[in-house]
Amino acid sequence: MMPDWLTPAILTIVTASTPLVFAAVGEIVVEKSGVLNLGIEGMMIIGAIAAFAIGVNTGSATMAIIGGAVGGMLMALIFGVLTLNLLANQVATGLALTLFGLGLSALIGHAYVGKTFPGLPKLDIPVLSDTPLVGPLIFGQDFLVYFSVASVIFVGWFLNKTRWGLLVRAVGENHDAAYAIGYSVKLVRMMAVLFGGALAGLGGAYLSLAYTPFWVENMTAGRGWIALALVVFASWKPLRAFIGAYLFGGITIIQLHGQGIGVDIPAPIMSMFPYLATVIVLVLISKDASRSLLNAPACLGRSFHPSS
Amino acid sequence: MKKLNYLVRLSLAAIVISGFALVSPVNSEDLKVGFVYVGPVSDHGWNYEHDQGRKALEKALGSKVKTSYVESVPEGADAARVITKMASSGHGLIYTTSFGYMNPTLKVAKKFPKVKFEHATGYKRSKNLNTYSGRFYEGRHVAGLIAGKMTKSNVLGYVASFPIPEVLRGINATFLAARSVNPKVRIKIIWVFTWFDPGKEADATKTLIDQGADIILQHTDSPAPMQVAEKRGKWAIGQASDMSAYGPKAQLTAIINNWAPYYIQRTKEVLNGTWKGNQDIWGGFKYGTVKLAPYNKAIPADVVAMAEKARKGIMDGSVHAFQGPIKDQSGKIVIKAGERANDGMLAKMNFYVEGIEGKIPK
């Protein structure tokens, strides 16, 4: 017999993990093209306020979601122009992007404090959605959850099975060689950066539209940084990032449930678990140095200019 | 070329300096009052309410005071820098509004003996430094009474931040009050170890509701718990501000931090020369620092009457949130029959009262 708190607990895990899935999968594409964008948090928070502002003003969930993606993309565009065209340092620019995003979102958000959004519509198929556990889990989520799963499948397929994906990886592995055979490194990287920005924006939009449908300053609360860690945790593989995000979300929620049931494990230790798990997995995957290094893009974080 | 560059810079500097002079005219008649906030004024919680206090002060004293504030100042070295800047730019009175500003405020206060300082929720005072706080546990007492009467599942859910005396005081006050009107009531506490993370606060609230809680109380800063309660059709008590915008049906009442009376009183004292250092005021219902949001219309009249009776009783001194005998979890009497917890004990409270399940995380 299944305890009756199990289904809601698993549903909570889905909500907690979805923003991380979006941001991490987007960053994988960015890093695969050889660019390290540390500004995920900044792109997410702009995505969150853009989606919320548009949602409140238009009342349309679709417009809000698109707004979130575009907001993240605009931030990514700033990053792209600075690092790809003007060859600014990627680490410094990424950090600046986060600070800028937090400040700008606060400024835009002043007018939206205290407003609420009805949330995203959920899929509801008669009979199917009412099946215990499976029903609400597979057939009863909101649109963005399915979209996050689709983005994992799409990115996995794109990077490994398509010519364009090969090009992204080529640019990330050896930008000189890719340039020598006639590809525009700058263009490919810009596209990857914009894609990453759009997904980070969606992650933010999920926070302000579905997770906690309101706006408050700094509401991403460090999730961009967790997504960044997940990319390394996943050794740049979308499916592993998905699993990692759910593991992370899962442990967070289970420790909350553990406290409620009265499991006698000190709460701070349980809060530490997700991070501890990341460290352990990192140790395990780095044990075989040759294999884990194979996955890290060789040109990660290095600026490219044809003259150098 | 170099010289031109130098001239350009010089004129730029001149413009910047004159700009500063324009925005802050020095008028020795006015009292400049500064506020330092730990988070954004738009947080709809702790900082928002301090800023409401600042606005009320401006309204009450009009042209006699000029106020300014700096928001989102991290506790630590940055705080000392911001407070020093305020003290050296002509502010006569400075309110620092977070516990972590205690040592920086004390340090700066020593350097600027003529400037008057007021630090919220701390315990270090000096000739030109006072402390102030709120008796929010009085609000929790009333909230606990209402929660005890309104719960159907007999499980209250409490989203807690950090196991510090302020938070434990709130939990104990709530539980004691709820038990006094409903002997079957239990309280489930989830510690999220953050003051502000809407996502995590929402997750903790969902967990509490999934485990049977039908009334949510919170000691974290975001309106996420209220919003989850609204969505799931449960009750909740708002924290720091009126959160009814996020839970029009869910909010039973809210415990509101109202700093205006304190800010107006102290600032008046500075203006008329009666301000003294080394003072400590904890304002409650009586002083006006703690207020309740309008009661939810769904609360039965007899429960409202009971809540109002308790509130008035606290104001006239006939009711106290920590009225002995009170035992801790081990059954040891911590407050004897006929006695009340004094401020020293309240400030150091580090136990759960009898009947609360679970241990305080270390």
In this predicted structure, what is the pLDDT of residue A279? 76
Domain-wise residue ranges, chain B: 28-134, 136-257+289-348
User: Is A255 inside any structural domain?
Assistant: no
CB A151 within 8 A of CB A22: yes
Phi, psi of B34 (to 5 degrees): -110, 150
Please answer whether residues B179 and B148 qualify as being in contact, where contact means their C-beta atoms are separated by less than 8 angstroms.
yes
CA A29 to chain centre: 11
CA distance between the termini of chain B:
65
What integer pLDDT is reported at residue A135 of this predicted model? 76
Dihedral over Cα of B61, B65, B68, B74: its sign: negative
Q: Are A7 and A199 in contact (CB under 8 A)?
A: no
CA distances from B103 to A35, B71, B77, B92, B129 (A): 43, 18, 10, 19, 11
Q: Enter the tokens of residue B107.
A: 């340090």
Q: Under a CB-based contact definition with an 8 Å cutoff, are residues B219 and B167 in contact?
A: yes
Q: What percent of chain B has pLDDT over 90?
A: 78
Is the CB of residue B329 less than 8 Å away from at least one CB of chain A? no
How much of chain A exceeds pLDDT 70, in percent?
A: 91
To the nearest whole Å, the CA of B193 is away from the closest chain A CA by 8
Chain A residues lying within 8 Å of B228, measured CB to CB? 212
Sheet with B290-292, edge to edge strand ranges: B186-191, B155-160, B215-218, B235-240, B251-257, B290-292
| B198 to A264: CB separation less than 8 angstroms, yes or no | no
The stretches of B30-164 forming alpha helices (DSSP H) are 46-61, 77-88, 102-111, 136-150
Structural domain count of chain A: 1
Helix (H, G, I), strand (E, B) or coil at A227: helix
Measure the CA–CA gap between A215 and B154, rounded to whole angstroms: 32
For residue A256, give the nearest of B197, B207, B361 by CB distance.
B207
Best of B206, B356, B360 to disrupt the A interface by mutation (most A CBs within 10 Å)? B206
Instruction: Give residue B9's pLDDT.
Output: 53
B360 touches chain A (CB under 8 A): no
pLDDT (tens digit per residue) in A69-100: 999 999 999 999 999 999 999 999 999 999 99
Q: Residues 31..70 of B with a Cβ closer than 8 Å to A: which?
A: 39-40, 42-44
Q: Which long-range contacts (CB under 8 A, 24 or more apart) does B100-108 make?
A: B100/B38, B100/B75, B100/B76, B101/B36, B101/B38, B101/B73, B101/B75, B104/B75, B104/B76, B104/B77, B104/B79, B104/B80, B105/B79, B105/B129, B107/B80, B108/B80, B108/B83, B108/B84
DSSP 3-state assignment of B237?
strand
Cα–chain-centroid distance for residue A172?
A: 20
Band of residue A136 on the pLDDT scale cut at 50, 70, 90: confident
Three-state DSSP class for residue B215: strand
Contact B203/A219, CB-based, under 8 Å? no
Subunit contact A214:B227, Cβ cutoff 8 A = yes
What is the mean predicted confidence (pLDDT) over A46-51?
A: 97
CATH of domain B28-134: 3.40.50.2300
Q: Return the DSSP state at B277.
A: S
Instruction: Flag if A214 and B246 touch (Cβ within 8 Å).
Output: yes
Q: What span, in angstroms and rounded, lies between the C-alpha atoms of B121 and B282?
A: 9
* 3-state SS assignment for residue B245: coil
Nearest residue of A to residue B226 by CA position?
Answer: A212
ipTM score: 0.83
B28-134 and B136-257+289-348: identical CATH topology: yes
What residue numbers bound the domain in which A79 lies?
6-224
Residue A81 counted as domain residue: yes
Chain A nearest CA to B208, separation (Å):
7
Nearest CA in chain B to A111: B42
pLDDT in tens, B316-358: 999 999 999 999 999 999 999 999 999 889 988 999 999 999 8
Full DSSP string of A230-271? HHHHTTT-HHHHHHHHHHHHHHHHHHHHHHHHT--S-HHHHH
CB B179 within 8 A of CB B185: yes
C-alpha pair distances (Å), B162 with each of A40, B131, B218, B220, B330: 28, 22, 12, 9, 22
Cβ contact (<8 Å) for A16 and B203?
yes
- Res. A293: pLDDT tops 70: no
**Rounded mean pLDDT of chain A?**
89
The answer to whether residue B188 neighbours chain A at the CB level (below 8 Å) is: yes
Please state, rounded to an integer, the average pLDDT across all residues of chain B.
Answer: 90
Q: Is there a contact between B361 and A15 if contact means CB atoms under 8 Å apart?
A: no
What's the rounded Cα separation, in Å, for the pair B283 and B287? 5
Q: Identify the residue among A216, A253, A272 best suited for mutation to test binding to B, counting B beta carbons within 10 A and taking the highest.
A: A216
Domain contains A240: no
Query: Is residue A293 domain-resident?
Result: no
> Which residue among B202, B357, B361 sits closest to A212, beta carbon to beta carbon?
B202
What is the per-residue pLDDT for A291?
61
Least confident of A63-67, A98-102, B45-49: B45-49
Per-residue model confidence as pLDDT tens digits over B141-175: 999 999 999 999 999 999 999 888 999 999 999 99
Give the number of beta-carbon pairs within 8 Å between A and B.
Answer: 110
Structure tokens at B123: 């315990």
Domain membership of residue A122 (yes or no) is yes
Chain A CB within 8 Å of residue B204 CB: yes
Q: Which B positions 288-327 lie with beta carbon below 8 A of chain A?
A: none
Task: Give the C-alpha separation, A30 to A36, whole Å.
Answer: 7
Write the CB contacts of B18 (distance below 8 Å, at least 6 apart in sequence): none
- Touching check for B207 and chain A: CB below 8 Å? yes
A258-290 per-position pLDDT tens digit: 888 777 666 667 667 667 776 777 777 677 766
- A222: closest chain B residue by CA: B197
Averaged pLDDT, B221-245: 94
pLDDT at B67: 96
Q: How many helices (H) and strands (E) does chain B have?
A: 11, 14
Q: Express each pLDDT in B100-112 by its tens digit.
A: 899 999 999 999 9
Give me the residue from A5, A109, A212 closest to B198, CB to CB.
A212
Q: Is the pLDDT of residue B312 over 60?
A: yes
Residues B43, A216: C-beta atoms closer than 8 Å:
yes
Which burial class, exposed, middle or buried, applies to B276 when counting CB atoms under 10 A from its CB (0-12, 13-18, 19+)?
exposed
Select B136-257+289-348's CATH number: 3.40.50.720, 3.40.140.10, 3.90.870.30, 3.40.50.2300: 3.40.50.2300
CA pair distance B108, A243, nearest whole angstrom: 50
